[in-house]
Amino acid sequence: MKDIDVIAVLQDPVRRRLYEYVAAQGREVGRNEAAEAAGVARTLAAHHLDRLTEAGLLESGSRRLTGRSGPGAGRPAKVYTRARVERSVSLPARDYRTAAELLAEAAEEAGLDAGLCAAARRRGESLRGAAAPCGDLAEAMELLAARGYEPHLEAGEEGEDGQGDRGGVVRMRNCPFHLVAERFPPLVCGMNLALLEGLIGTDGPVRARMDARPGECCVVVEASKNNEH
C-alpha cells in the first residue's frame, strides 16, 4: 500500500481518534480501552483497529490483560501499538531525507558538530522569539507538542547524586529527526539538544538534557537544578 493510501485510511474520524489514542499511550492498548476512549462500540472499534493494522499504521498482538496466567486466567486479548514505520506524502515528490543524510554525513566528516549545534541553538531561540524561557514543565510540553515531539510527563526520578527526587521529567515518544538520528546519532542528537535549549531557554526554571532511551527522543526536559528547593 502506498503512503498516500495509508494516510487516506485516517480520513475516517473514528479511525483517526482510535489511532491517535493508541499512538499517545506508548504501550499496548486493548479493544475495550480503545473503544471507550473513542466513544464507540467495541465491535466498531475492533473493525477500525484491524483496518489500521492492515494499513501498517498499528501493530497487533495478544496477551492476557488480567496479568494472570494458567487455568482461569482467560483467553488472551488482542492489543495494539503504533507501528514504528514512518509515512510521508509530498506532492510533487520530494526527497528531503536524502539531502538531510548527505548534509549530516558531510558535517560529521568535517567535524562540524560545534557549528551545527550553534546554528541549532540560534534556530531554537528564533522560534521562541521574544518570549521568555519556559516558565514550567506544562509550558514546555505545549511547545514540544506543537513541534511533534509527543511529550509525556513521567514521575520523578532519582537525582544524579543518588539522593532525592527530580520531580516530573518530560520524555518524548517521537523524535522528528528519527531516521537521520539513527544513522548519525551523536551529530543529530547533539543538534536536537541544542535546538531545544534554544527553544526552551537555558536560564529559566526548566532545562533540556540528554538522556537517551530506546524508542524515545534522546532529550528530556526537567526542572532546572537552580530552581529546585
* pLDDT > 80? residue 107: yes
Helix axes 113-128, 185-200, angle to 10 degrees: 30
Q: Residues 48-52: what's their mean pLDDT?
A: 97
d(CA 68, CA 113): 50
Note the Cα 131 to chain centre separation in Å.
24
Cell 551523536 identifies what position? 186
* 182 grid coordinates: 539513527
Note the Cα 98 to chain centre separation in Å.
22
Q: What is the pLDDT of residues 165-177, one digit of tens each?
A: 456 899 999 999 9
Q: What is the pLDDT of residues 54-79, one digit of tens each?
A: 999 999 999 876 665 655 556 789 99
Closest CA to 48 of 3, 6, 14: 14
Residue 107 burial class via C-beta count within 10 angstroms: exposed 0-12, middle 13-18, buried 19 and up: middle
* pLDDT > 70? residue 194: yes
Closest CA to 189 of 204, 215, 211, 170: 211
d(CA 220, CA 171): 5
Q: What is the pLDDT of residues 117-130, one digit of tens each?
A: 999 999 999 999 99
pLDDT at residue 91, as a whole number: 84
Q: Residues 75-100: what's their mean pLDDT?
A: 90
Give the torsion sign (CA, 97, 98, 99, 100): positive
Cα separations in angstroms, 104 against 75, 177, 186, 193? 49, 11, 11, 16
pLDDT at residue 163, as a whole number: 41
76: which residues sit within 8 A by CB, 6+ positions away? 62, 63, 64
* pLDDT > 60? residue 158: no
